[in-house]
Amino acid sequence: MPRRRTSSSSSSTGSSTGSPSTPRNRTPQAVRIRRRSFGDFVKAFFAFVALLVLVVGVPGALAVSVGWPLPHGVPELEWLQKPITTGTFLNILTVIVWLAWAQFTACVLVEIKAAVSGIGVPGRVPGSGPSQLLARQLVAALLLVGATAASLTPGLSQLGHDMEGNQRGTVAAAQQTPGGGLFAQQQEQAASTAAALAEQAAGAAAHADAGGSASKADDTKYYRIQPPEGRHHDSLWEIAERHLGDGRRYKEIFDLNKDRVQPDGSKLSEASLIRPGWIMEMPGDARGGDLVEMPEASGGSAAQQQIHDYGKSGDHAQGGGAQQGGGAQQGGGTGHASLPEQRPAPDQQTDRQTGHQEQHQQHATSTNAASDAFGLPQALVGAPLLAAGLLGALGRRRRQALWQSAFGAVGGRRGMEPPTPTGDAADAQDALLVGADPEGVRLLDRSLRGLAASLAAESRPLPTVYATWLSGNGDLHLQLAQPSGNPPAPWQLGQDQTFWMLARADAERYEDLDAAAPYPGLVSLGTLDDSRLLLNLESVPGIVSLSGSEADRAAVFASVAAELATNGWSDRMTITLVGFGEDLTPLAPNRLRHLEGIADLVETMEAETRQRRGALGAAGHDSVLTGRTGPAQHTRWAPHLVLLAAEPSADDAMKLAELAADAGRLGIGYLVGTESGDLPGAAWEMEITGEGKLLAPLLGLELDAQLLPVPLQRAVVELFIESDPEREPQGPATAPPFLVDVSEQGRPAVYARLVGPYEIIGLDTPDGDRSALLHEALALLLLHREGVHPRVLSSALWPRGVTDDVREALLERLRAWLGTDPDGSPRLRTDSTGRLTLAKTVVSDLDVLRSLYHEATQGRGVDSRVVRGRLLTDALVLVRGPLLADRPEGRYRWLTHEIIDAQLPLLVADIGLALSEFHLVKDRAEKAIEALGAALNSAPGDERLWHELLRATHATGDTDRLQALAADLITRSGARGLPPRTEALLDELLPTWRDGVAAVG
C-alpha cells in the first residue's frame, strides 16, 4: 500500500515548537524526496476525478435516477407478502449500492485523516477490504503533490550534530505543524536561497562569457544545501540521486567535503548531518540546473564570496586541511557532540579526550589482534554490552547451580565444580571475558535510573527516547522524540533541544538508586566509528522492519534477543520470539518465550494490547513512561518486545501494523523481518548486508552491525545449558580442576597463599611498579588451572585495552619471574589451544584446600576415619580469611566475572560441616562447635552452619548457651527475621525461644 514518508530535523535556535502528542516517525532522517513529475500531477488529477465521481457522483446519480429505495413508512405484513417485481429488485440493489457508497466514503475519510495528521496507521473500516485499499490508493495519489502527503516525526537524523553548527541559522522543523510564522519563514529562506543561487549562476555565466581563463578547480561545480521545503529536508542521498544519478554515490560528496569549514564555522563530520546554507563541492560529472561553478570572489554577493572561499579550502588547497579540527571533532560520530562551556576547561578536555582516544585505539588494536592471532569470535569480542549481559547471566546461572548443589543435594554433589567448557564453548567464554564491559553497563544503568529518579523528584514525566548513543569516551546521548525542556542536573542539553547528554565523569558519580529502569527496551544495533547505537524498541511508533538474507537477519535477531534477555539496564520484560529462537530460551527462561506461528502472536498481542490500554486508562496514565515514575513503578509497565523473524503475509502485516500503531505508548515493540524490504506499517526500515553492515539510508545510518551467528549462538547456549541448576549431574561428582599431592613428598616449588592475605613462597618479590601486575597475573592463572587465553589475561589486567607489545612484554617478565623446573621446563607454558597454563610445581593454598577436601570425602578418607579427620582438620587450618583479602583498590576487577566468591565460602562450609559431623559421631560437641565457628568466620551467611551449630550446642545440654545462640541469630537476622527452617529447628531444640525474644523485645 502507499506509505507516507517522514523526515525530521532539529531546532538550531533551541526553541521548542508544537508537536503532536504521539509523534509519528517513519524515518528519523531527511528522506529521499522524489521531485514531482508531470505524471504525478496527471495521477493526482485522475484520482481527484475518481474520488469526486465515487463520493459525490454516485449518490447524486442514485438520487436522480432511482430516488429513495426504502419505504416511506413502516411496512405492513401484506407488503412483505407481495411478489418481488423488477422495481423491488432494483430498490434492493440500490440499497446495497448506498451501503457500499457509505462504506467507501468512510474509508476515504479515514485515509484522508490519517494522511493529513500523520498520526498512527489508518484505522480499518469493518468489512472494507478492497474498498479501503482503493480509497488509500486514490488519496495517496491525490496527496502526492501536496505537502500533506508526508507525515513528520522526529528521528535519528540529527544524531551527531555539534553545538557549534547549531548556533547558526538552521531552520527548525522537528515536530512542526505546517503553517504559521515559522512556515512563512521557511518559505522566505527558500526563496532567498534560490535567488542567491540564481545570482551565483548568473555570475558564473558572465564570467565564462568574458573569456576568463579558469583553472580546473574553477570549473568545479558546487551545491548549496537548501533550507527545509515544507516538511522535506535536503540530504546527501537526495543530492547524489538528483545530480549524480545514484543516491549511493553520496559518499563521494561526503569525501570531497569532510571536515572542511562551512560558512557557519562548523564542519561536515557525518554524511547524515548537513545544514541549510552549507556548500558542497560536487564530483566532476555532476549535472543539474541548481549547481553553480566557481564564481568570482569580487562578485559582490555574500553567497558568491562564501562559495569562492570554500572552493579555496580543503585538502587540495591546504595540504590536508581536512585533518584539522581534532579533539572533539575527530572521529565524527554522534557520541562526540558536546557543550564545551559546560565541560572541563579546554586544556583538560583536550587531554582527557586524547587519552580516551588513545585507550580506544589501543583496545581496538588489541581486540583485532586477538581475533586474528587467537581466533576468538569477533562478534562477541566487539559487542561489550551484549558480552557483559551474557557473562553476568552465566555467572548467576552458575552460582545458582552451585548453591542448589550445596543446599539441596547430598553426598558427592557437595562442593560441585562447574563443568569446564571445551571447543567452541571455551572460545565463546573467552570472547565473553575479553569483550565484556560491565563498567559501561553499570554506568548506563545508573545514569538512566538516576535520570528517572531526578525527574520523579521534580514531578516531571519521562521523555520518550528513540535512541541512545554511547560514545568512545563514555559520554551518553539520549535522542528524544520531541523537546522536553532542560534535563535535570548533571544532565545537559546536547546539540539541540531533542538531545540530552551526560558526560562520563558525571555518570561515575551516580550511586545505586531504588528506581525503576526507565528504558528497558534499549538494545544495541551496531557501531558507527567509535560510537554505539542503542535503539529503544518499545518507543518506536510502529514496526521496525529488517530486510536482508535469512541467515544475516537471523544473526541480528539472535543478537537483539540475547541482549534484551540478559542486559543489565532493565528490570522485567517479556520477549516473544516468533519463527526462530526456540534454542535461545535457556539464556533467560523467565524472559524469553517462543511461539510457533504468527496466528498465535496476533491473538496474544490483540489481548495484551487491549489489556494494556485498559490498565493505562484505569491508572490515569497516558503512557507506560508516566507509570514508571509513579507509585506503582516496580509492579507494572514492563515492556513486551516481539521479534518476528519470518516475513508475515499481507493480511498478517496489516494486523500487526494496526496493533503497532499505538504500541509505543503501551510499552510494546515490534521488530519484523522481511525479504522484500517493503513491509506495511513499518515506521523504520533497516537492511542487513552480507558484509555485516546495517543500513538505514532514510535514517542516515550505516552501522557495523552487532551479530550473533548461528555457530556462536550454539556455543553460548551450550555454556548456559551446562550450567543449568535443574540439570541432573552427568556421572560422578565433578572433581577439582587440579589436584595436588598432599603428602610430604608433594611439596611445591612455588606456593601462593590466596585464601586470606596474598603471599608467595618460593619466588623473589619483583622490583619496581610491575610487581603488583605480575602478582595479579599469577593469581588469575592459579584460579584457572585449565588454562587462560592470553587475550583474557590481558583484558583482565588492562580492561581499557592494551597493545600487543605490552602484553607480550608482561608474559616475558612473568615467565622470567616464575623460572623453570629442575628439568629445565618453564613453569609458564602454552598448551595446544594457545592458552597459558602453570606447571604442577606451582601451587596455591586453594588448590591444596580443594585437594584435601576431595581426598577426605572421595579418596583415602572414605575408608579411614582417622585419615578423614586429619585431612579435614588440615583443610580448615588453611582458611585464613576471604580470597585475596588485602588486594589493592582498583585491581582484581576480573573477580566480578568469577564464581570463586561463591565457591570458596561453600567449600569452607562443607569442610566445617564434615568435620563437625566427624566429631559429633564421637560426642565431641565442643570440637564440633570449634570447627563450625572456624567455618563461620569465612561463611557467616551459610544457614547450614548455623543449623549444625544449634544442634552441636544442644548436644552440650547447656540451655542458657543455646538461648544465647538463638538470641544472637535473631539479632543477626535483623528486620527480615529468621528463615522458616531455622525457626522450625529452634521450635524443636528450644521450644521456649520465642519467650526469650518477647522478653528482649
CA distance 31 to 369: 39
Max avg pLDDT among 11-15, 648-652, 712-716: 712-716
Give the range among 2-6, 584-588, 794-798, 945-949 with minimum mean pLDDT.
Answer: 2-6
CA distance 739 to 717: 29
Has residue 169 got a pLDDT over 50?
no
**Quick one: average pLDDT of 695-715?**
89
Q: Secondary structure of 755-808 in the HEC alphabet?
A: ECCCEEECCCCCCCCCHHHHHHHHHHHHCCCCCECHHHHHHHHCCCCCCHHHHH
State CA 306 to chain mean position distance.
Answer: 42
- What integer is the mean pLDDT of 964-982? 86
Nearest to 563 by CA among 365, 384, 346: 384
Question: How confident is the model at residue 350, as a pLDDT?
Answer: 39
Q: Is 428 in contact with 716 (CB distance < 8 Å)? A: yes
- Determine the average pLDDT of the residues in 697-721: 90
Q: Which three cell numbers stand for residue 647?
A: 516475513
Q: Can you say whether the dihedral through the CA atoms of 380, 386, 391, 394 is positive or negative? A: negative
Read off the C-alpha cell for 539.
Answer: 518507543
More confident residue, 317 or 144: 144
Average pLDDT over residues 439-443: 92
Question: Which stretch of 250-264, 551-565, 580-594 has the lowest confidence by average pLDDT?
Answer: 250-264
Which is more confident, 195 or 46?
46
Residues 6 or more apart whose CB falls under 8 angstroms from that of 815 comprise 826, 827, 828
Can you read off the three cell numbers belonging to residue 748?
Answer: 611445591
Q: Rounded distance, CA 278 to CA 555, Å?
A: 39
Tens-digit pLDDT profile for residues 243-260: 888 877 888 898 898 888
For residue 410, pLDDT over 60 is answered with no
Residues 6+ apart with CB under 8 A from 687: 546, 547, 548, 677, 694, 695, 696
Higher pLDDT, 122 or 237: 237
Q: Alpha-carbon distance 673 to 677, whole Å?
A: 8
Average pLDDT, the chain: 76
HEC profile of 212-272: CCCCCHHHCEEEECCCCECCECCCHHHHHHHHCCCHHHHHHHHHHHCCCECCCCCECCCCC
Predicted local confidence at residue 156, as pLDDT: 41
Residue 198 has pLDDT above 50, yes or no: no
The whole-number pLDDT of residue 596 equals 84
pLDDT of the residue at 525: 94
* pLDDT (0 to 100) of residue 205: 44
User: What confidence score (pLDDT) does residue 272 get?
Assistant: 61
- Residue-level pLDDT at 409: 46
Q: What is the mean pLDDT of residues 797-801?
A: 86
Ranking 10-14, 431-435, 604-608 by mean pLDDT, the lowest is: 10-14
- Percentage, residues of the chain above pLDDT 70: 73
Query: How confident is the model over 518-543, as a mean pLDDT?
Result: 90
30 pLDDT above the threshold of 60:
no
Res 65: pLDDT: 74
pLDDT at 607 over 80: yes
d(C-alpha 370, C-alpha 665), whole Å: 44
How buried is 689 (Cβ within 10 angstroms: 0-12 exposed, 13-18 middle, 19+ buried)? middle
Going by pLDDT thresholds of 50, 70 and 90, the confidence category of residue 522 is very high
For residues 337 and 771, the model is more confident at 771
Band (461; pLDDT cuts 50, 70, 90): confident
Which pLDDT does position 143 carry in this prediction?
Answer: 67
Measure Cα distances from 685 to 238, 282, 550, 671, 691 in Å: 17, 28, 16, 10, 18
Ranges 517-521, 638-642, 689-693, 766-770: which has the least confidence = 766-770
325, pLDDT greater than 80: no
Q: How many CA atoms lie within 13 A of 221 on its CB side?
A: 17
pLDDT at 216: 43
* pLDDT computed for residue 621 by the predictor: 78
Q: Pairing state of beta strands 836-838 and 828-830?
A: antiparallel
Model confidence over 810-822: pLDDT tens digits?
999 999 999 999 9
At 160, give phi and psi (nearest 5°): 105, -5
Q: Worst-scoring range by mean pLDDT, 118-132, 155-169, 396-410, 739-753?
A: 155-169
Tell me what pLDDT residue 631 has. Answer: 57
**CA–CA gap between residue 809 and residue 805 (Å, rounded):** 6
pLDDT of 162 reads 38
Kindly tell me if the per-residue pLDDT of 840 is higher than 90: yes
pLDDT at position 463: 92
Query: In 3D, which of 299, 280, 270 has the Cα closest to residue 203?
Result: 299
Neighbours of 535 (CB within 10 A): 27
Alpha-carbon gap, residue 560 to 523, rounded angstroms: 6
User: In whole angstroms, what is the distance from residue 315 CA to residue 123 CA?
Assistant: 54
Cβ atoms within 10 A of the Cβ of 447, count? Answer: 22
Decide if pLDDT at 324 tops 60: no
Instruction: Give 27's pLDDT tier (boundaries 50, 70, 90).
Output: very low
Q: Give the highest mean pLDDT range of 10-19, 206-215, 886-895.
A: 886-895
Alpha-carbon span 139 to 111, nearest angstrom: 7
- Taking the mean position of all CA atoms in its chain, how far away is CA 936? 42
Q: Which of 165-174, 549-558, 876-885 has the lowest mean pLDDT?
A: 165-174
**How many CA atoms within 13 Å lie on the side-chain side of 188?**
8
- pLDDT tens per residue across span 744-783: 777 899 999 999 999 999 998 887 778 889 999 999 999 9
Instruction: Enter the DSSP assignment of 879.
Output: -
How many angstroms separate the CA atoms of 663 and 541, rounded? 7
Residue 165: band (very low, low, confident or very high) from pLDDT cuts 50, 70, 90: very low
Task: Decide: 885 and 780 in contact? Cβ < 8 Å.
Answer: no
Residue 930 burial (C-beta neighbours within 10 Å; 0-12, 13-18, 19+)? middle
Please give the model's pTM, rounded to 2 decimal places: 0.64
Cα–Cα dist 423/444, whole Å: 33
d(CA 6, CA 191): 23
